A and B are shown apart, each in its own frame.
Chain A
Amino acid sequence: MTESFAANRLQSTGAYALELDGVARHFGALVALSGINMRIAAGERRAVLGSNGAGKTTLFNAVTGDFLPTAGRIRFFGEDITDLPPHERIRRGLRRTYQISQLFKGLSVRDSIFLACRGVSRRRFSLLRPAAADVNMAQAESILNAVHLETHRDTLVATLSHGQQRQLEIALALAGAPRFILFDEPAAGLSPTERRDLVAILNALPKHIGYIIIEHDLDVALRVSEYVSMMHNGRLFKEGTPQEIEADPEVQEIYLGGKHG
């Protein structure tokens, strides 16, 4: 039943943000990803769920080019990006966040976001100091406000709290006109209030920006996604709406460790 549902989605036509055809990744004898087929429409918001070691982050790494897939092809807005280096994929509008924050400890918050905006601009090599009126500085300011870090713009990243670092992690992915974002457990280690803020930020994203979110917190994942893909042992094994997934006994067995509620 699930397979036929997935097949229907595969056959449907339309502009896809991301298409994965038979993507696999092996680390020696370990099969981290196997036969992943996925079609995600432009602007679609998808959650990828699965237990630890299911291959979710490996999937992200394959899409962003942190390593190449062993087999399969990846298309981004119709363009085959399988063999492109990571920075080329980013310049086409792909962004990601990391499960463990990957930040610039020696830079200020605003400079970090400024660099994120500048990364997709032609002035990456500029030997001039950016003026206060620089377009990328202005973008950085508006992103600072969007993720509620405006009072920390001149703070050194190393001195931010964990929650603020997670906010900055998201801010970096929002910079430079993204078309599609991969969020890797953005709520990890956040307080309940910070989680609510995160949900608000994700729901406030412009409609044309689609994303995949990996999230263990089902409350967050199901509130910010329209569709859910379940992974287990490197394979996609079930797809459906948040309601279908929440009610699925097999999902509850594997993911939630038994009957729920």
Chain B
Amino acid sequence: MSLTLAADSTTSQQNWLEKLGPGQIILAVALALYPLAASDFFLTQIGGYSLIFGMLGLSLMMLAGYGGMVSLAQITVAGIAAYAIAILGNNNSNILGFGWPWWLAVPFAVLAAALASALIGWISVRTEGIYTIMITLAIATATYYFAQQNYAIFNGHSGYTGIRAPVFWGVNWRDPRPFYYLCLGSAVLSYAAILYGARSTFGMTVQAIRDNPRRMRALGYHVTAHKVFAWFLAGLVGGLAGVLLVWFNGRVSPGTIGVDAAIDVLIIAVIGGLRHPIGPFLGALVVVLMQTFAIDIVGAERFNTLIGLVFLVIVFVSPDGILGLWEKIKPHLTQESLRSGP
């Protein structure tokens, strides 16, 4: 019996490596070695920032792709974690700032974000489709205005400044290279967790509820509870991204959680593709590159036009985003390699 089990585990390990495939292994190595080649600017402003927004997109992809619930409030969820870090830890805005160590503040901030996400989910799961988008947009907008006008907790328009990534294990995590690895580690962790979770019991229930909530009720599932728990889990990923975002920016203000940012997250997820957790990271990379360099290509007055056009082209050519494009190109590549083979 024990022999059989051992043999089984070896097989599954091989399968796991095989499943990973050369593409993912090359990608992992490239991401790990990226700091050797990249300047500080490319490490943080492109690398770190794309990974953070990729995680935000991932949090949306999880709800929209697996659960069929499109949320515009993921930036709000991240914002709550960011504000929590500013309030629980240190800031130089002379308001609140409890001075908690990072290892206490971070779990609390992520948990606060996840609970807020669950609350937003609980409010919005009564709706479907376009109405979920509208109600989450309303919640995001309301939170933005509340943060702007509330001084006791959110410090109004100016928000909080002087928030720093911590120093521990002898590493200053605010330095470009450690910060990039921090973002990469968090992103890989979130990505792997969602990839694994999609095939877990709960992951399957969420997809089944997306396909047919009525039938799920008729199989004994409390559909609302499952949806709200999915929002909670998405909030963990969004909250983690929010912590990294506030460490990246060093500040958080209502502008961080505005409608522009909310739409950016949606664009990232749609551009990248909602079918696979890698999609949002691809989308984030494209969006961050465009937002950074479009201004150099066409000048300050037209850069938004260029960004908009690129998005239009991607969605026009492939409604499934970059992932869909890849699916279209892949068969041709395989055929080419067959032709050029021996």
Query: Which residues in A have some Cβ–Cβ distance to B below 8 Å?
Result: 64, 66, 85-87, 90-91, 95-96, 98, 102-107, 111-112, 114-116, 118-120, 123-130, 172, 175-176
Closest B residue to A108 by beta carbon equals B204
A126 touches B201 (CB 8 A): yes
Candidates B208, B214, B218; contact of A107 at CB < 8 Å:
B208
Query: Which residues B172-227 have CB closer than 8 A to chain A?
Result: 196-197, 199-205, 207-208, 210-212, 214-223, 226
Contact present for A129 and B199 (CB under 8 Å)? yes
| Complex alpha-carbon distance, A114 and B207, angstroms | 13
Q: How far is the CB of B95 from chain A (nearest CB, A)?
A: 38
- SS of B interface (majority): helix
Q: A90-B220, A91-B220, A172-B219 are in contact. Are A118 and B208 (CB under 8 A)?
A: no
B contact residues around A66 at 8 Å (CB): 214, 217-218
**Residues from chain B with Cβ under 8 Å of A112 in the complex:** 208
Give Cα A128–Cα B203 distance, bound, in whole angstroms. 9
Indicate whether B229 reaches chain A with its CB closer than 8 angstroms: yes
Q: Within 8 Å CB of B217, what residues of A?
A: 66, 85-87, 90
Give Cα A91–Cα B204 distance, bound, in whole angstroms: 19
Name the A residues within 8 Å of B218 (CB-CB).
64, 66, 86, 90, 95-96, 102
Q: Is A87 a contact partner of B221 (Cβ separation < 8 A)?
A: yes
- Ordered by A's residue number, 28 sampled pairs between the chains whose C-beta atoms are within 8 Å are A66-B214, A66-B218, A85-B217, A86-B217, A86-B218, A87-B217, A87-B220, A91-B220, A96-B218, A102-B214, A102-B215, A102-B218, A103-B212, A103-B215, A107-B207, A115-B204, A115-B216, A116-B219, A118-B201, A120-B219, A124-B202, A125-B226, A126-B202, A127-B201, A128-B200, A129-B196, A172-B219, A175-B219
Measured CB to CB, the nearest residue on chain A to B12 is A132
Contact between B205 and A124, CB atoms less than 8 A apart: yes
- How long is the Cα–Cα vector from A175 to B210 in the complex, in angstroms? 21
Partner of A124, one of B201, B203, B215: B201
CA distance A184 to B175 in the complex (A): 65
What residues on B are CB-neighbors of A106 within 8 Å?
207, 210-211
**B202-A127 in contact (CB<8A):** yes
| Closest-CB distance, B282 to chain A (whole angstroms) | 22
Q: How far is the CA of A119 from the CA of B217 in the complex (A)?
A: 9
Shortest B137–chain A CB gap in Å is 26
CB neighbours (8 Å) of B199 from chain A are 129
Report whether A120 and B220 are in contact in the complex, using a CB–CB cutoff of 8 Å. Answer: yes
Q: Establish whether residues B211 and A119, one from each chain, have CB atoms under 8 Å apart when the complex forms.
A: no
B204 touches A114 (CB 8 A): yes
Closest Cβ neighbor of B209 among chain A residues: A104
Docked-complex contact A127 and B219, CB < 8 angstroms:
no
Which residues of the other chain, B, contact A120 by a CB distance below 8 angstroms? 219-220
Residue on B nearest A97 in the bound complex, by CB: B218
1/0 per position for B208-252, CB-CB distance to A under 8 A? 101110111111111100100100000000000000000000000
Q: Which 7 A-B pairs have the closest CB atoms?
A: A119-B220, A119-B219, A90-B220, A102-B215, A126-B201, A104-B211, A86-B217
Chain B neighbourhood of A90, CB < 8 A: 217-220
When distances are taken between beta carbons in the complex, the residues of chain B under 8 Å from A114 are 204
Cβ A127 vs Cβ B220 within 8 A: no
**Which of B197, B201, B220, B229 is packed against the most chain A CB atoms within 10 Å?**
B220
Please measure, in the bound complex, the distance between the C-alpha atom of A115 and the C-alpha atom of B201, giving whole angstroms: 8
Provide the residues of chain A in CB contact with B216, threshold 8 Å: 115, 119
Give which listed residue, A111, A115, A123, A130, contacts B219 with CB less than 8 A: A115
Contact across chains for B201 and A119 when beta carbons are under 8 A apart:
no
**Looking across the interface, which residue of chain A has its beta carbon closest to that of B197?**
A127
Residues of A within 8 A of B201 (CB): 115, 118, 123-130
- A172 to B200: give the CA distance in the assembly, Å: 19
Residues in A with CB closer than 8 Å to B221 are 87, 119, 124
Other than the known A105-B211, A128-B201, A129-B200, what 8 A-B pairs have Cβ atoms closer than 8 Å?
A: A106-B207, A118-B201, A124-B205, A124-B221, A124-B226, A172-B219, A175-B219, A176-B220
**Nearest Cβ on chain A to B63's Cβ, whole angstroms:** 15
In the complex, what distance in Å separates the CA atom of A112 from the CA atom of B222? 16
How far is B205's CA from A120's CA once the two chains are assembled, in angstroms?
Answer: 13
- Give the complex CA separation of A116 and B197 in angstroms: 19
Q: A125-B226, A125-B229, A129-B199 are in contact. Are A107 and B204 (CB under 8 A)?
A: yes
